[in-house]
Amino acid sequence: MKKMNTRILLIAVLGFTLINGCTKDPAASLFDPNYANGLQPVMTAVTPENAAYAIAGVTTLDLVGSNFTTDISKMIVYFDAVPAQILSATPTLIQVRTPNFYKDSVKVRVSVIGVEKFSEIKYINIKPSIVNADSIDFTKEEAASVAADKYGNIFVSMTSTSGLGLGVYKFGPNGTRTKYALNIGAFTSYPSMKVGPGDTVFATLVGQAGILYFDPTTVAAPKFFVRGTTNPPLKIVKDFDYDAQKNIWAGGDGLGAGIFRIDRLKNVTEFPFSGVVNAVRVYNNALYVAATIATSASPSEIVYKIPINAADTSLGTPVKYFELTAQSGYESNKITAIAFDADGVMYVGTNGTAGILVVTGQNAAPTPLYFGLIGSSVLTFQWGTGTVLYVVKLNDVSSKTPQVLLKVDMQKQSAPYYGRE
């Protein structure tokens, strides 16, 4: 019996040994005694680059500090909970673009992958870059053109969404809305308007060889300032602008179309020009005209710079300043508007997907304004007295608001509009 018990004990010990030998080794510990946590990123300042304040989706910000990294794939910059696009980085400077949202007191933090702690929080206010104009119901009303005076008022030619003319409305700096002028016909809109001498609003009428004006003292239909019965006869006017002597420079369409100067006494002078003029702007002693030029192939869309001779207010030789249809990707686009900022940068409105292009100098390659945030099919625009560019554009055809007026914060002042000075 004793031998049997001893045998059973030996078998049990042997079995336990075999079973224990098949057991897997325990997993290695996640704790690494040699791991050294990276240095916490330090952010000392957030500064808009070359701007007074940050605007949504546009502004480049400088994040100054230390313990950053040159590898942007290993960093995240949060605006509240939204990651921003990092443009470049050094150990002491990160450049980011603001996300496309706006609010006051946005929390900015930097995270470096592999580092336990975020940077301390900095706060920044972000303003909207593009908003709809105030006091216009775009489900019922469409903007056709806009003008701005020196007091901060804007004047908007509007129609109903069915095309019925609603006249011209005046919007004060505080958003107040008043009826300013009536239509000439039931379906009238005024495709180009400018404020001229005496704070009077002047305008063009579709298909008309003339320029109209509105009586600022009464709500009434406009009257002709000049029309096609002048000598030489004025052609169809599509757009116009004023020079420093308060002469009107106009261009448009029609047989033998030219460029016209109209002085304050309504004397008309014609300057030969071959092409349909779609937009006009006077800047720095020169007349800029955006024109459609017929060619043996497809039409060309060109902005010409034409010197204005100070001695007799005649025109010099046109020089090609910018050709839109020669740019890759814009071959089929049409120029609809031109403007200049105070630094001489030109802005070109188009019917293409980019909407507005920035042209920094003669023959410079264009870049989309605000990375194309404005959207396609710009009809016209005009700068206000501050930093806002008022833009009339089409939405897509399925939209309930097919034609809108946008306020675009350019963070720059306009070049002078001589008519409203």
Query: Where residue 397 falls among pLDDT bands split at 50, 70, 90?
Result: low
What is residue 132's three-state secondary structure? strand
The CATH number of domain 130-420, selected from 3.20.20.70, 2.120.10.30, 3.90.920.10, 2.70.70.10: 2.120.10.30
DSSP 204-262: --TT-SEEEE--TTS----EEEEETTSSSPP-EEEEEEE-TT--EEEEEESTT-EEEEE
Q: Label residue 89 left, alpha or beta by phi (over 0 means left) and psi (-120 to 50 means alpha).
A: beta
The CATH class of 42-127 is: mainly beta
pLDDT surpassing 50 at residue 17: no
Least confident of 183-192, 208-217, 381-390: 183-192
pLDDT tens-place string over residues 112-167: 999 999 999 999 999 999 999 888 888 889 999 999 999 999 999 999 988 899 99
Between CA 145 and CA 128 the distance in angstroms is: 23
Check pLDDT > 60 for residue 59: yes
Q: What residue spans define the domains of the chain? A: 42-127, 130-420
Q: What is the pLDDT of residue 3?
A: 47
**Domain 42-127 shares a fold with domain 130-420:** no
What is the reported pTM? 0.87
